[in-house]
Structure 1
Amino acid sequence: SLSVGDKTFVPICAINVLVFLAWMVPRWQPIMTKYFTAGLASGALCWPMLLSVFSHYSILHLGANMFVLHSFSDRAVSALGREQFVGLYLSAGMVSSFTSYLFKAIIKSPTSSLGASGAVMCILGYFCCRYPESKLAIIFLPNFNFEASSGLKALLCMDTVGCLLRWSFFDHAAHLGGSLCGIAWYYWGQEYIWRKREPLISFWHKLRGPVQ
């Protein structure tokens, strides 16, 4: 039987695979480009902030993101619970997309981005704060391991340098936004948002008014 982490991971992975397969259909290309890539030059801005999180340009891109997510999902789901994990994952995806938008606006970049890496980096950031002494390894260098806290610091430094030097191979702004989202959730979000969500939801319902 599947663990709680796997039961949470499998649907997320399945959606990513389905979206990847949708890219293979030529007549869907205009729709996929408009709604499943996030960029300031896109014909849409809001929906792509979420939908692009499930979109990948190659099987390697998809496989790498899902491998990393699966590596951390079991313990992260155990610590957060399924509902909080999914909520954090989706929210972080949109936060990372928005961070990418801001950075592209600053440097006047017309490029578009896609991929789950911002949301995955959030889960990684949370994990490294929650389990700082856990041992991590690089995919292709399994014998080289390091503490989670050190790995997180290295990633933050690399993505910061990537933004400053405008490296374009990865969307470093999205990675940085995702990582900081995970860190913020560990130190602040759980206490002041998740555990107090019922008053916040009630306030939102009053603010929104009755649904017609």
Structure 2
Amino acid sequence: MVYSCIRFSQRIRPILRNFKSSAFGNARDYIEKILGRPLQAFDFYWAIVVCNVLVFLALNSQFSSTLLPYFCSSPYGSTPVLSLVLSLFSHKSLFHLGINMYVLHSFASSVMSLVGVEDFFSVFIAGGIFSGYISLMNKLLRRSTFPSLGASGGICAIIGAFSMLQPNARLCVPFIVDFIPHSFQASSAVWIILSIEIFGLIFLSRRSALDHAAHAGGLIFGMLYGSNGVESIWKRHRAVLSWWKNIRD
């Protein structure tokens, strides 16, 4: 699954590059006409926001019963693979949607400036898929039928990548910092967050509404990317695929 997500992230990059070239010129020109200006890198963040808002509105409409099986991830659902991707863009409440988009906004500009729009988007999508897969495995092990949804897995991947790429950056807890001034070094904060999520995964999964498995999976994927682990793994992918094929045979 790790290799599948990495390979998927590698394939997203040229698609996004082509979108900025003549291959998708008509679509780009149409969007720029609506905006009244050339496309900018941060517009891809707003594209994610728009997708999430539209899905949220659709899930709270008369079509919700039809759409829910596709936008809620569950190993026992009718479309577990498709919902693994689509659940990245669905939220159960306005607060859930708002807090996720706020956190993504906090990191989007910095990560885009560090790795570019293509890698930002590929880490968000591939990290979200990987985190969803970890969540599905956890549900199977615990025999949980409770579905998952939300962009938090992809957002955790972005946070993990940022913390490895900018280990000396200072992070704080939103809103609380307004009352209690504080900051943490990014390289330390990400390990603390990961430890909390793993603790929640082991001891609180049956009682917590949070998907700790997805959060931990997203953080690990992002940290792997940020520490250049993806490139070293990608260089060895043929050897690993050959090893896996021999096991299956």
TM-score by length of 1: 0.86
Q: Indicate yes or no: 2:80 matched with 1:80.
A: no
Q: Indicate yes or no: 2:60 matched with 1:24.
A: yes
Equivalent residues of 1:121, 1:178 under 8 A apart: yes
SS at match of 1:144: coil
Q: How far did residue 166 of structure 1 move?
A: 3.0
Equivalent residues of 1:93, 1:119 under 8 A apart: yes
Q: How far did residue 191 of structure 1 move?
A: 5.1
Instruction: Please give the residue correspondences for 1:13-162 in structure 2 after superposition, counting only pairs within 5 Å.
Output: 13-26=49-62, 28-142=63-177, 143-162=181-200
* 2:26 aligned partner: none
Q: How far did residue 66 of structure 1 move?
A: 0.6
List alignment gaps of at least 5 residues for structure 1.
Answer: 201-212
* 1:182 aligned partner: 222
* 2:211 aligned partner: 171
Q: How far did residue 192 of structure 1 move?
A: 5.0
Evaluate the alpha carbon distance shift between residue 2 and residue 69 of structure 1 in structure 2; reply closer, same or farther with a 3 A threshold: farther
Evaluate the alpha carbon distance shift between residue 135 and residue 109 of structure 1 in structure 2; reply closer, same or farther with a 3 A threshold: same
Equivalent residues of 1:5, 1:73 under 8 A apart: no
Alpha-carbon distance in structure 1 between the residues aligned to 2:231 and 2:124: 14
Evaluate the alpha carbon distance shift between residue 3 and residue 172 of structure 1 in structure 2; reply closer, same or farther with a 3 A threshold: farther
Q: How far did residue 144 of structure 1 move?
A: 2.1
Alpha-carbon distance in structure 1 between the residues aligned to 2:125 and 2:192: 24
Alpha-carbon distance in structure 2 between the residues aligned to 1:87 and 1:12: 12
Two-structure CA RMSD over aligned residues (Å): 2.0
Alpha-carbon distance in structure 2 between the residues aligned to 1:163 and 1:2: 44
Q: How far did residue 35 of structure 1 move?
A: 0.4
Paired AA for residue 217 in structure 2: G
Q: How far did residue 137 of structure 1 move?
A: 1.1
List alignment gaps of at least 5 residues for structure 2.
Answer: 1-36, 239-249
Equivalent residues of 1:121, 1:182 under 8 A apart: yes
Alpha-carbon distance in structure 2 between the residues aligned to 1:64 and 1:190: 32
Show structure 1 runs of 4+ deviating over 4 A. Answer: 1-5
Paired AA for residue 15 in structure 1: C
Alpha-carbon distance in structure 2 between the residues aligned to 1:88 and 1:81: 11
Alpha-carbon distance in structure 1 between the residues aligned to 2:146 and 2:41: 34
Evaluate the alpha carbon distance shift between residue 80 and residue 191 of structure 1 in structure 2; reply closer, same or farther with a 3 A threshold: farther
Q: Which has the larger radius of gyration?
A: 2
Answer with 169-178 or 32-41: which moved more.
32-41
Equivalent residues of 1:19, 1:55 under 8 A apart: yes
